[in-house]
Structures are given as structure tokens and as C-alpha cells.
Amino acid sequence: MPTIDKMIFGNGPLGPSLAPWIRQRPTLQKFWARWSNWYKNAAGYRQKGYLYDDLIPEENPTVQKAISRLPANVSYDRVYRMRRGLIQSMLHTSLPKEQWTKAEKDERYLTPLIEQVVAEEKEREEWDTMIVEKLRQRKEGKKNIFG
Amino acid sequence: MYSVARLSRSQPILKNVIKRSVSSSAPQPASAGGVSVIGFENKGPAATSSLTVALKAGSRYESIPGVAHVLKNFAFKATDSASSLRTARETELYGGVLSASLTREHLFLSAEFLRGDEEHFLSVFSSLLSSSKYYPHELNELVLPVVESETLQAHASPSVLALDIAHSLAFRRGLGNSLYASPNYPVTIDDVKSFAHTASAKSNIAVIGTGISTEALSSAVSSAFGSGSSPAGSGLTGGATKYFGGEARLPLDIHGPPTALPTVVVAFGSSSPATADLKVLKQLLGGESSLKWSPGSSPLSQAAAKIPGASAKAFLLPYSDASLFGVVVTAPTSVQTKTLAEEVVNVIKAAAKGAKDDEVKRAVAKATFADAISSETLDGLVSSVGPALFAGGAIKPESFSSVSASSVSKAATELLKAKPTVVAIGNVAVLPYADELGL
């Protein structure tokens, strides 16, 4: 399970999330899922035809890279939803009810890719800031201190 | 030294000097769990070793144009055990060099490193062969830009382009496939995956090591590749090669670099592997100088020396079941290229009519040396040993003892009988057609 600071700071552009912590606890997740679904419906994006991942702020290099990795058809669908949603916002209406996003269709198509990019950036940073030390010297040094 | 050839009998002193402790200790290939393996222990105090995995996955075997070129650039990318960044950075820490090269028949993946680091680099290769991820985003972000620039670079050089076209004219399919991916034939990630899967079958792999004994290498390979890493299967197969020949004429790209000169390639192919006679014929026609600041004494270099900035070089490209022999002619202008090409054809015809004994002797000595020195570099060693391992033959130096002036002339006559392959790149209004060259 991730530590608290990783949950808050280690998520990149996805922002702080308690989701991994909640997912570890099945009872809590069962209780929480009801509220989360209620919240998502109340937020109003499903009524405009968006998916949850359409709402992630994209104005940063990490998410831009993740978007560039989307398969072509998923990328077109994303743009289509954005344009449709923009028109609904301008008209101050919602889509007809049969076109609302259904809960089972509301899948996280972008989050795994953002996580992949974040992991790559983290790995690169680790390699860029690594310190090479000779194993034998370190062992000898330790021996001197404790022995 | 493992590939010393015999010099002709007229040079007994040299023979003793060059013949070092060799042929008795020539290593023999072994089989490690279905993978053929050979290790060469370096002479001298060399502190480096190298490992090369040869895959029978050259452009000859590709199912979709360019897939072999893309696969070459997919080497050392993400696997189950390491990302591409990790592989690169770890190699840097070990002080090693990873490289991949593609020929028409084989794909060579090489690692050169300090002695004692075999274990790490073997594990890099075994994970590469068994669990490469082939991510679509790696194809788009890391692989395709390199593929594109390599293709552009090749097409910017008229001689590389002319040889590529000469192959497609000479052999049409199979060996005629271009070495370079083309923007006209997009390669998808699924194409790469299926090509790589067939290519990494055990019967399709050979491992060549230097600075390591065959026994040590084969035990390391069977433990590294042993755990069901590469799939069993038949590997890639191509059809038999047939020589066709033909003619192609292209305008020279005026946006090319100033080094891109009008080029004519005159080539003759045959659907049998390169013989010792052809190797000697290449040296006999020559074109390369053995001395600095001198055009050399070979007929081709003499012909080229008349035009400043021109060159005419004989080449011999050996393949497992075919060979392509020819001359690359370049000169600063198309008119000069035409003049030189006509002279070159006369030189080839003169060689077919009859070669002088002392000239052939000189060419035999040169060919023997070229054959021996080629295995001193890793590139040369791998490109001669790799095909031999797949063919199942013994690794032995070429024997030039049967070559004589008459056998060389006969080989040249045989070549001239076949339909020539002529590629002209430059001002096509000026450059000659094959029949105008007298072929």
C-alpha cells in the first residue's frame, strides 16, 4: 500500500487520491462505491456526455504525452465528446437522457497512460540522480564503523 | 588468430611469419539447448569480451516491407525485466556498448563489455529475446524517428541507394527486399510482434562470443536461454534465390549533400554462393588503393585516376545462396561518370578475356589478407561466422590454392554471360543505358 505522502504527492497530474488506500479495504470500498457513484452523477459531467478522464486537466507535458499515446480511435472519440460537451455548455442544456454516459461506460481510458508516463519520469529522475558507489568499499567502510 | 589462410607458395618467409598458433586451436561450434554457440578466446591481453546474437531475420525474410529494419531499431527496448532507459543506463555503468546491425540475411545484436560482465549482458539478451514488450508508444516515440532518419540518410547517398535498387533488380523478392523501411509501407506494432516472435525461435538464433571459450559460453547460454525463453519453432524461411538482372535509372536528388555524386552500378549476380575466384576477381579489378596518396596499380583505380574526384570500386556481396559482383562508379559530373563507366566495362571484359599471371598472384595475396583481416574486427568476424553457424559448416578460412589466372577469367566470363544489373543515378539524359555500355 502506498504511503500517505505518495498518495498526496506521488500521483503527478492526477492529484492526491485516497483511492488506493480505500481499495485495500473491501468493506470500506463497498460502502464508498455507492457515494462515489452518487457524486459522479451529481457532478453533472455524465449528463453532458463526458467520461471521468475527460475532466483531467491536460495543460501539462505529462498528460499531453499520455494523450499522444492514445490509440487513434480513442483519441477521436475524446475530441468528439469535448465538442459535444462544449455545445451543451453553451446552450445551458444536457443531452437527452438516453445519451448520458452510463456508469459502466465511464471507464478510465487515460489514467493508466498517465500513470505509465509518471512512472517513466520517476525512473528517469532516479537514474539521473543516482549515486554510484563501489560495493566493496562500502562494506569495508561499514566494517570499520561497527567492528 | 583463428582464420589464417595459406599464402601462395612463392612467399615461404612471409608464410612462416603470418602462420601463428592458429588452425590447431580453431574453435568449433557447439549447441546449447538448440542454440548454436561459438566462442573465440582472444589472443593477447585484451580485457574486453563481446557477445553477439545473430538472428536469421534480415530483410530477406520479412513478411511486410521494412519490418526487419523496424525490428532492428526495437532492440534493447522495454522488456519484462527492464525498461529501455534502465538497459541503457546499466550498460553505461558496466562500461559496455550495445549495438544492432541489419544485413539482408541476418540481424546482429551485439554487446561489447569488460571481461567478467558476461552474466549481465547474457541476461539482457535473454530477456530481449523472450520478453520484449513492443509497446506501441515506443514504436512511435523511439523507433520510427530513427528508422525514418536512417532511411533518409541511406537515400541521400547515391551509392547506397543504387546498391539497394541493384538488389531488387537482381533478385526481385527475398534478397531483393530493401534494407530500409519505406514511408509507403507503414509497419504496425502487430507486424513487428509477429515477425519478432518467429525470428526468435531457437533454431533461428546463434550466439557468437569473443574473449570467452565455447564451453563457458555454451553453459552460460543454456542457463540464460534455457528457461523456455525463446519459443521453439521453425523460424523464418525464405524462398530460393534466383538471379534476374535488369536496369533502373533515377534522377539525382538536387537537394542532396555535395557528396552525392552521379553514380552508376554495374553488377552481375549468380544464384550460387561467392567462390574464391570471385573474391580474387574483386581484388584483381580493385579500385581501392593500398597506399596513401597514390591511386594504386589496379586497373579500376588507374581508370578512375584520369578523372579528378572519380572512383570506381569493385564489390562482392556474398549471401548464403547467391552473390552479387559489380563495380560502383562515381564521378563529379554525369558526363564523366558515363566515360568512366564505359572504361570500367572494358576493364571487366579484359579480365574475362584473360588475366595476367603475376596480377592474379598479387590479387590472391590481397584476397587472402582481406579474408584474414576481416575477422579481426567484431563486425567482420560476426558477418563471416554468423552465416557459417547457420549453414552448419565448419569455421575455416577460405582456401585460395585452386585459384589461377584461367579460373579467374573463366569466373568473369560466366558472370558476363548473365543479364547485367545496371543502376544509373544522376542526369538520366546523359547517363548510359546498359546496351550503350556494351553489355
Reported ipTM: the value is 0.80
Secondary structure letter of residue B347 according to DSSP: H
CA distance A28 to chain B (A): 34
3-state secondary structure of B382: helix
* B46 shares a domain with B124: yes
3-state secondary structure of B262: coil
Could you tell me if residue B425 is inside a domain? yes
Residue A94 has a CB neighbour count (10 Å cut-off) of 15
* B271 shares a domain with B213: no
Give dist(CA B52, CA B40) in Å, integer: 12
* B330 shares a domain with B271: yes
CA distance A64 to chain B (A): 13
Extract the C-alpha cell encoding B412: 568473369
pLDDT value at position B24? 40
Task: Say how many domains are in chain B.
Answer: 2
Hey, are the CB atoms on A71 and B86 less than 8 Å from each other? no
CA distance A95 to chain B (A): 35
| In contact, B307 and B352? CB cutoff 8 Å | no
Q: pLDDT per residue over A130-145, tens digit each?
A: 888 776 555 555 554 4
Could you tell me if residue B132 is inside a domain? yes
Touching check for A125 and chain B: CB below 8 Å?
Answer: no
* B303 shares a domain with B411: yes
Could you tell me if residue B375 is inside a domain? yes
Nearest CA in chain B to A70: B137
Domain-terminating residue out of B224, B259, B277: B224
Range of the domain at B70: 27-224
CA B252, distance to chain mean position in Å, is 25
| Mean pLDDT confidence for A101-113 | 93
Nearest Cα residue to B295 out of B279, B284, B311: B311
Could you tell me if residue B262 is inside a domain? yes
Extract the C-alpha cell encoding B318: 556474398
Place of cell 543506463: B89
Q: What is the 3-state secondary structure (H, E, C) of A32-98?
A: HHHHHHHHHHHHCCHHHCCCHHHHCCCCCHHHHHHHHCCCHHHHHHHHHHHHHHHHHHHHCCCCCHH
* B334 shares a domain with B285: yes
Nearest CA in chain A to B137: A69
* B254 shares a domain with B120: no
pLDDT value at position B79? 92
* B278 shares a domain with B214: no
- List strand residue ranges (DSSP E) for B239-374, in order: 246-251, 263-270, 311-318, 323-330
Mean pLDDT by 10 residues, chain B (439 residues): 40 40 60 83 77 92 93 94 94 94 94 88 89 93 96 93 96 92 93 91 88 86 66 70 92 86 94 90 88 88 92 93 94 95 93 88 92 86 87 79 89 91 95 91
Residue B353 has a CB neighbour count (10 Å cut-off) of 10
pLDDT value at position A133? 78
Touching check for B396 and chain A: CB below 8 Å?
Answer: no
Q: Is the pLDDT of residue A93 over 90?
A: yes
Chain A residues with beta carbon closer than 8 angstroms to that of B85? 120, 123-124, 127
Residue of A69, A124, A132 with shortest CB distance to B85: A124
Touching check for A124 and chain B: CB below 8 Å?
Answer: yes
Q: What is the pTM of this model?
A: 0.87
Residue of B85, B86, B137 with shortest CB distance to A69: B137
Could you tell me if residue B382 is inside a domain? yes
* B249 shares a domain with B194: no
Chain B residues with beta carbon closer than 8 angstroms to that of A69? 136-137, 140
pLDDT value at position B327? 96
| In contact, B210 and B107? CB cutoff 8 Å | no
pLDDT value at position A140? 58
Could you tell me if residue B233 is inside a domain? no
Touching check for A132 and chain B: CB below 8 Å?
Answer: yes
pLDDT value at position A139? 56
Q: Would you list the domain boundaries of chain A?
A: 4-121
pLDDT value at position B176? 92
pLDDT value at position B35? 83
Touching check for B190 and chain A: CB below 8 Å?
Answer: no
The CATH number of the domain covering residues in A4-121: 1.10.1090.10
* B332 shares a domain with B368: yes
pLDDT value at position B317? 94
Interfacial B residues in 53-92 facing A (CB < 8 Å): 83, 85-86, 89
Could you tell me if residue B212 is inside a domain? yes
3-state secondary structure of A30: helix
Touching check for B47 and chain A: CB below 8 Å?
Answer: no
Could you tell me if residue B426 is inside a domain? yes
CA distance B70 to chain A (A): 19
* B369 shares a domain with B273: yes
Q: How confident is the model at residue A100 (pLDDT cuts 50, 70, 90)?
A: very high
Residue of A69, A120, A127 with shortest CB distance to B89: A127
Give dist(CA B159, CA B148) in Å, integer: 19
Hey, are the CB atoms on A123 and B86 less than 8 Å from each other? yes
Residue in A62, A120, A121, A125 to test binding to B, most B beta-carbons within 10 Å: A120
CATH number for position B373: 3.30.830.10
